[in-house]
Structure 1
């Protein structure tokens, strides 16, 4: 028989576990405590005021929530750790995104949520995190939506403060330590802190930040001194540190370099509860996911296995479906033909025709197999640019640093690029990949040396801030006609925009109502119509769906000009790059093998670093 002390300890542990479930609230202002703005996630609010961008984003999110209507019924047991919602429907501004489908999320599974841009993937995550679907209260949800706001706190402080219960218990233990009469209660608190691994909290937070690219000194830097991309990494570190029961991540690799992507893939592949992940990277989905949810034709369809397994299973299912569809259509055609020919013939033939008519009616009543409807395919297009004799751009003994007080990013660079160039730039964040593209376009000037460009060369640079130049109140059609007034006919411009996957209402809706992926397509249409000789693409896959990335890869391969690419998408690099240049240690080195060998090299490097920590 267990002793009273053992029973008491077990009861305490149970209570501690319950407390964790109650108090560990997500801090994105979605499922957290609205009365405490200082702990709302991603810097949505800070005690000493909110920056205007965060305010704007909050208002935008509120408007989205108000324009959204969600219905659904909890089908799983209220105390279950699995979530099953039946009869799920979701509309946004009256447009139906999901219709009478089911949401099934089981504990221990890692789901990749995929589907075309604009079908409602991010909207679904937002609805889940706002608990607009009936998710039991004991399941805490953390939805990573945006970067932390600038503040005086260090990166390490921001990660550690996220664990409310641990902080609360540590403060209480500190208070009780000075009171002799509270010895028993203090022991209970220490027990609960031990469960939360409190003494290792700092080490764990530091390890996560290190994995996401923060050096020891960077972890002590104030958040206000970081760019938005780095503050996004802090927000991601908070999510990983907290270990919520349900973690919702929307394109978590968008602000990461290849090193951090490899680390995050490894980290998320160990997640033990419920993970729902939107990602455009097939490689990342393969490394992380145990299941795939495909949002297609307003339904959620479920597949076991990673992305490659999903593709294989879907192909097999669709092949069988089409075989069944074709067989049924043949049977129907044959029966209709027989009925038409013999329905009014001799009594015997007429009886047979009537029998076939009944069989046909039964087939229709029991439901016919539908024809397979494939995802819309699109083909990006970069117009012919004409020939320019090499060298198009010459880099001669170039060194660069941002100021005299900062270290050199590059020293003594020597290379040339021309219209045959197909290069992917890789290397850790801060090594100067984007800086190099800015030097080549002339946006930055070398500190030493010279960059010579052909007098007629036109460079088109795509970067992740390009969407900021869009005029949100204009439609894509109006915006493109304003940018390219030489195209007079609306129909001609409609065709141009259509090449980039924007069709019908999307062409005439205000740009602000488009999804992030659709806004990126407007940018690609704008960029292509500049008719550049060289494409400089800095993270072009952010927010694009997998089908669009494949279309982009095809267009790059068909393009007759040169291309330099910065991307964290291993598959895109594999599809389009003929050379891989590593930007590191103030120089550029050519990698002799392919990008997958480079990924293995990064894995080994990261394993060694983590082992040494």
Structure 2
């Protein structure tokens, strides 16, 4: 018999459930009316037709590419968990993309309350895996709602704050699900019901605006920016709004593909603090080891068409993975020694005396049994890369002189920089850091020549060659051309295809990857094409604006080694603390209309940002 305490607890839950159902029923009609009026306001029927902007054309191109990718993708798998479970488990999971197998009969297992880091080499299929889950291309129960962050929100006339608060559709869906679950006495259903009630409380109208404003502030939106219309933001900022929506809704299954790509260091640190307390299921692709260490409770390694699971953050994965490889190597060597010994014995004594022949037959059976049971696979490390920037030769200093430079975009906008004075030479190795809108990318554009100073002068050596990498370069590639065709067109002086194949191969593109259409490559592989193109311009100065976006960790390490071996200069903007620590000799902080040298390394700067976030949160609680 249940105790009195258990009876009282069950009665309390039942009363709370009935009360919540009554609240939902009474508000449902008003919410439906609000939803329909919102749909009318947001309709495009009366909008006049106009010519698409360049950004809209690029968005349309990306949408078309996503459609083609979805059509080229096929997958199989079966649900291997109770339909009411809060976990996701898919057995015999396979994915094929443009005829190539990415996963083959593996197990996908995601448990509620865990935060997974999905890692693997560029092109192994990490983004395809998230797309399969986000599009429900495998059986995932309907009660598990999914938010897959794929692209920025549309350029509408709604404010950033309104875009985040627009969760009526999600709220209605949750309320309907709560009604269904309330009819069930199943323990799993009741646990799920309490979770939904908690989420509905989080979405309460009286708290919604403050919560949305807090999330936007953490991602770099001040109060005035929160009231700006979405159409007035760049694609990168609209991607932040999309991320804010995901954090606001708190779905049961949150899928984030490189969420830090459009964030600066301040926002990265804030997002890390925000995600490390995520209570449901988070699957995260990131190239940042710091970020994975701070957020993840588990690592999924996508390798050799399988999913392998590890407990702990990225550092724990590296330790465990190295131990497993070491043990595998020992086992492989022992087996090969045994096989060699038995084969030698069989060859020598198989036709000898009866006694020796029997022993040889016994060893032959032992050998056959070992083979039948499966031999240990030889350890083969993931492909190593060797990025390379050709020697640029010497040119006399100063390479670039910035003299009393001030800049703003128009007379109506505030100054971004005032009276800058500094020089850059071939031995320069610096990283620019600072808050949103401080002008880090703007400074790179000024140095490159895409922007002209409002006042002052930037003097450059007449022989100077500059290569500027920015995060949208890979989107401008000819998707129908192969990497080999693209590079042969860009560098007609290279006459032989085999020579160009060797050049491209240095950047991790080999075999079929060199001759297939670029659209069939992953974002990380496309970025490698861009790096090959930039490097073969033989620059004296590298201006790198978020170069790690879409790259895997092995590629980032190869890039860092290439930068350190490069005999020219480098100015870097990156949210990757590890890369900055590997290549930057100086840290410059962009803020308050100027740049100042940071007295310390990048890890000191990260600690400074964390303490600032802690202090801000403490102030808000007072």
Separation in structure 1 between the aligned mates of residue 391 and residue 94 of structure 2, nearest angstrom: 45
Name the SS for the 1:588 alignment partner: strand
Residue 514 (structure 1) aligned with residue 521 (structure 2): yes
Separation in structure 1 between the aligned mates of residue 104 and residue 329 of structure 2, nearest angstrom: 24
Separation in structure 1 between the aligned mates of residue 605 and residue 467 of structure 2, nearest angstrom: 28
Residue 76 (structure 1) aligned with residue 81 (structure 2): yes
- Aligned-residue offset at 1:520: 0.7
1:80-229 maps to which residues of 2 (within 5 A)? 80-166=85-171, 194=201, 196-229=203-236
Q: Answer yes or no: is the 8 Å Cα contact 1:318–1:372 preserved in 2.
A: yes
Q: Answer yes or no: is the 8 Å Cα contact 2:560–2:579 preserved in 1.
A: yes
Name the SS for the 1:358 alignment partner: helix
Q: Answer yes or no: is the 8 Å Cα contact 2:98–2:520 preserved in 1.
A: no
- Aligned-residue offset at 1:84: 1.5
Name the SS for the 2:261 alignment partner: coil
Name the SS for the 1:125 alignment partner: helix
TM-score, normalised to structure 1's length? 0.89
- Aligned-residue offset at 1:118: 0.8
- Bigger mean CA offset, 397-406 vs 524-533: 397-406
Residue 360 (structure 1) aligned with residue 353 (structure 2): no
2:313 corresponds to: 306
- Aligned-residue offset at 1:99: 0.5
2:546 corresponds to: 539
Match of 2:488 among 481, 497, 502: 481
Separation in structure 2 between the aligned mates of residue 330 and residue 309 of structure 1, nearest angstrom: 32
Sort the Cα spacing of 1:200 and 1:138 in 2 relative to 1 into closer, same or farther, 3 A: same
1:320 corresponds to: 327
Separation in structure 2 between the aligned mates of residue 324 and residue 18 of structure 1, nearest angstrom: 61
- Aligned-residue offset at 1:294: 0.6
Sort the Cα spacing of 1:16 and 1:210 in 2 relative to 1 into closer, same or farther, 3 A: farther
2:17 corresponds to: 11
Sort the Cα spacing of 1:154 and 1:48 in 2 relative to 1 into closer, same or farther, 3 A: farther
- Aligned-residue offset at 1:606: 1.8
Unaligned runs of 5+ in 1: 20-34, 171-189
Q: Answer yes or no: is the 8 Å Cα contact 2:160–2:227 preserved in 1.
A: yes
Name the SS for the 1:308 alignment partner: helix
Sort the Cα spacing of 1:192 and 1:392 in 2 relative to 1 into closer, same or farther, 3 A: closer
- Aligned-residue offset at 1:4: 12
Name the SS for the 2:259 alignment partner: coil
Sort the Cα spacing of 1:191 and 1:357 in 2 relative to 1 into closer, same or farther, 3 A: closer
Match of 1:387 among 382, 394, 417: 394
Separation in structure 2 between the aligned mates of residue 155 and residue 386 of structure 1, nearest angstrom: 49
Match of 2:263 among 240, 251, 256: 256
Q: Answer yes or no: is the 8 Å Cα contact 1:161–1:167 preserved in 2.
A: no
Unaligned runs of 5+ in 2: 1-6, 26-34, 176-196
Sort the Cα spacing of 1:47 and 1:121 in 2 relative to 1 into closer, same or farther, 3 A: farther
Separation in structure 1 between the aligned mates of residue 243 and residue 199 of structure 2, nearest angstrom: 26
Sort the Cα spacing of 1:163 and 1:110 in 2 relative to 1 into closer, same or farther, 3 A: farther
1:262-341 maps to which residues of 2 (within 5 A)? 262-341=269-348
Cα displacement string for residues 411-441 of structure 1 (whole angstroms, at most 9, x for unaligned residues): 1111111011000000112111111111111
2:556 corresponds to: 549
Residue-pair matches, total: 575
- Bigger mean CA offset, 155-164 vs 245-254: 155-164
- Aligned-residue offset at 1:162: 2.4
1:25 corresponds to: none
TM-score, normalised to structure 2's length? 0.88
Q: Answer yes or no: is the 8 Å Cα contact 1:54–1:149 preserved in 2.
A: no
- Aligned-residue offset at 1:164: 2.7
Name the SS for the 1:254 alignment partner: helix
Name the SS for the 2:106 alignment partner: strand
Cα displacement string for residues 478-518 of structure 1 (whole angstroms, at most 9, x for unaligned residues): 11110100000000000000001111111111112211111
Match of 1:590 among 589, 594, 597: 597
- Aligned-residue offset at 1:58: 3.7
- Aligned-residue offset at 1:194: 4.7
Q: Answer yes or no: is the 8 Å Cα contact 1:516–1:543 preserved in 2.
A: yes
Sort the Cα spacing of 1:348 and 1:15 in 2 relative to 1 into closer, same or farther, 3 A: farther
1:422-461 maps to which residues of 2 (within 5 A)? 422-461=429-468
- Aligned-residue offset at 1:398: 1.1
Q: Answer yes or no: is the 8 Å Cα contact 2:152–2:241 preserved in 1.
A: yes
Separation in structure 2 between the aligned mates of residue 578 and residue 502 of structure 1, nearest angstrom: 30
